[in-house]
Amino acid sequence: MRFWIFILSIVCFIASTGVSLYKTSPNEVSERYRPYLLEEISKCNEQLSSILKEKSFNQSKLKKHFISARKHYKHIEFILEYVSPKEAKYYINGPLVPKYDADMGSEVFYPQGFQKIEEIIYDGEVNQFQLLKDQVSSLKDQLSTLQDYYKDVELNDGQLLEMMQLQLFRLATMSFNGYDATISLDGIKESEWSLEGVNKAFTFFNIYAERDPSTLPMYQRCMALFKSASKQLIANTDFNSFDRLGFIVKYINPLNENIVKFHNAAHLSWSRRKQALNLNNISLFSRKNFNLQHFSIYYDDTLFNAKQAALGKLLFFDPRLSGGNNMSCATCHNPEKGFTDGRNLTVTTGLIRDNTRNTPSLLDVAFQKAFFYDGRAYQLEQQVFDVVHNKNEMHSTLDEAISKLNKSVEYRMLFDKAFEDKSGITAYNIQKAISEYEKTLVTFNSAFDKYVQGDLTRLSKEAVDGYNLFAGKALCGSCHFFPVFNGAVPPFYNDSEFEVLGVPAYVGAKVVDPDKGRFNVTGVKEFMYAFKTPTVRNSAITAPYMHNGIYNTLEEVVDFYHKGGGAGLGIAIENQTLPFDSLDLNAYEKKAIVSFLKSLTDTSGVVSKPQRLPEIIDVVIKSGAY
């Protein structure tokens, strides 16, 4: 009897602490799933071996083997991308344009792996048969190495669910948008394979659902959603007509929500990996899902601090940071104009400019891993220093600004409150405060965002069509990634992409703009005329466009892309990364894309100026500068 009372009290204790009674070891599912993972790698490699066995370039046979290999790869992509991100990104499924990774030294990664193989096979490059075989062999080697590694790599069940969520995010932000499968245009079919792979892994979670009834409804809901989502993808494989936005709202969002709820109900732990996405959030594409601090390099040093942000706002609007007390950050980054100055730098008749580049918007500026059009700064803090020094900009040194600010009792007090270590007015603290303010300029509350969150009354049919064109036929979304719409690469957001569009020197010019862009920073010839992909959020209020401000309207920008960028306009540019061909858009389609861009406007809560600036004895603001 005493024994039973003892057992009962343990049960009560466990129940009262909220720990699941149906405890499953934290990697039970992962262990059951592992043989499937290893087998998929083997199957993929068998298909690659079939390519190697072909004696001649028989395109239809090669395509068949390629497609089967891709299918097995896509089934497990969500694991490989998470556990082996560098291998996946550079060797297995590397992009079709050269990549430069500052983290990995000055090495340039040329296209290789699946995408290169796809290009040779689908473009029918018969004379590259040997190269094809070399590519296939090294891909096989890569996969075999990974297979060995995966035999005992540690996986846990909570993490496995997070990998699934990341794959859903990858579908919506990349696979649906032609980021890979760029030549076969099989992105939608491939998305179905990915989903099939995720679904397969999820079925192993049935042991939780069987042992713990509280997880059962979410398990069943997910299984039903996987099934109908797959059906939807199988029925609509055409890249151009696929309704991406509808799919995101109807399937991706609810699947994510139910996976999160299942995760919590099963009492699985959440990974402590520092990452850009807060995956324990039920809405995958909302502001809350983004961890802005991830985008700063000095992670521990850059935690958000409201007092610093408030001080940063004062500094941002204060002309006394400049040499002549005549110019603040807001002079060029004017909140009324979406934090731009609306000025066009290029005169239409030639190459004369009063400043080197067009002022970019600072809305959503923090969601990037590189700053300035050429990416010469890697974090916001670093960027302030550059601006204050620049003779075309504020022409002062931070030391000069510091001694002015030190004359102000009020500023000294504000710095003391904002920086608890009492380090006072230093160059770093000025930069840090301004950066914290910049991080508050987030605009995820546009009509488009509300639609994505489920309010279907927010967008016109034209704007919905516009998004589907943007992400589909017009290929915009393969560079401007949903939902941030800049070139920071989802879902890990560890780098920002640079692209060569061949923007002309002025409207009508048959020469490319002479600004060398990213080449100035890297010295790598592939990056000659390459620029960082900016966000198109708020583009309706940030004209003129492009680094040289060449276009005044969004219609002109769309037309530039429609014609195939610089090369399409007849400019001789060899390394353009934008497709040269016309996009073949009709008048309605062009209009729809512009409608979609306009639905991304949101400046709620971010445009106010400070009521007043702190006093600084003996330093007078030039009239009109504030």
Binding site for ligand HEC (CB under 6 A): 316, 327, 329, 331-333, 357, 359-360, 362, 365, 371-373, 380, 383-384, 387-388, 393-394, 434, 438, 470, 474-476, 478-480, 499, 501, 503, 531, 533-534, 536, 539, 542, 545-547, 554, 557-558, 561, 577-578, 593
- Whether the CB-CB separation of 513 and 548 falls below 8 Å is answered with yes
Closest CA to 437 of 371, 369, 373, 380: 380
Q: Which amino acid is at 14?
A: I
Q: Which is nearer to ligand HEC, 268 or 388 (CB)?
A: 388
Q: Torsion over CA of 470, 474, 475 and 479, rounded to 10 degrees?
A: -60
| CB-nearer residue toward ligand HEC: 463 or 554 | 554
| Structural contact between residues 377 and 365, judged by C-beta atoms closer than 8 angstroms | no
Q: What ranges in 368-445 are assigned the alpha helix state H? A: 380-389, 398-406, 409-418, 427-438
Minimum gap (Å) between residue 434 Cβ and ligand HEC: 5
Q: How many CB atoms lie within 10 A of CB 272?
A: 6
Cβ 548 vs Cβ 503: under 8 Å: yes
**603 Cβ neighbours under 8 A, 6+ residues apart:** 335, 338, 363, 443, 538, 541
Q: What residues act catalytically? A: 393
CB of 294: closest distance to ligand HEC in angstroms?
17
Pick the closer one to ligand HEC by CB: 260 or 530.
530
Smaller CB separation from ligand HEC, 42 or 392: 392
Torsion of CA 225, 226, 231, 232, to 10 degrees: 60
Residue 107 burial (CB count, 10 A): 12
Pick 205 or 493: Cβ nearer ligand HEC:
493
Q: How many CB atoms lie within 10 A of CB 392?
A: 11
Residue 26: CA atoms inside 13 Å, Cβ hemisphere, count?
A: 10
> At its nearest, how many Å lie between ligand HEC and the CB of residue 466?
9
Q: In this complex, which beta carbon is closest to ligand HEC, that of residue 133 or of residue 343? A: 343
Q: Are 371 and 379 in contact (CB under 8 A)?
A: yes
The token pair at 497 is 């992409």
Length of the chain counted residue by residue: 626
The CA-based angle 166-363-611, given to 5 degrees, is 135
Closest C-alpha to 581, from 602, 563, 607, 569: 563
**In the complex, least distance from residue 314 CB atom to ligand HEC, rounded to whole angstroms:** 12
Preceding amide of 491 cis, omega within 30: yes
Nearer to ligand HEC, 111 or 534 (CB): 534
Minimal distance, residue 158 CB to ligand HEC, in Å: 35
Cβ proximity of 108 and 524 under 8 Å: yes
Phi, psi dihedral angles at 100 (to 5 degrees): -125, 125
Residue type, 533: T
Contacts of 117 (CB under 8 A, 6+ apart): 51, 66, 132, 135, 136, 139
Q: What is the DSSP letter of 218?
A: H
Query: Residue 82's closest CA among 140, 24, 153?
Result: 153
CB of 301 to ligand HEC, least distance (A): 18
309: number of CA atoms within 13 Å, CB side? Answer: 12
- 225 vs 585, which CB is nearer to ligand HEC? 585
597 token code pair: 């861009």
Which residues are bridge partners to 532 per DSSP?
498
Least distance from ligand HEC to the Cβ atom of residue 583, Å: 7
CB of 152 to ligand HEC, least distance (A): 40
Closest approach of ligand HEC to the CB of residue 334, in Å? 10
Instruction: Output the smallest distance, CB 362 to ligand HEC, in A.
Output: 6
Is 463:599 a contact under the CB 8 Å cutoff? Answer: yes
372 vs 451, beta carbon nearer ligand HEC: 372
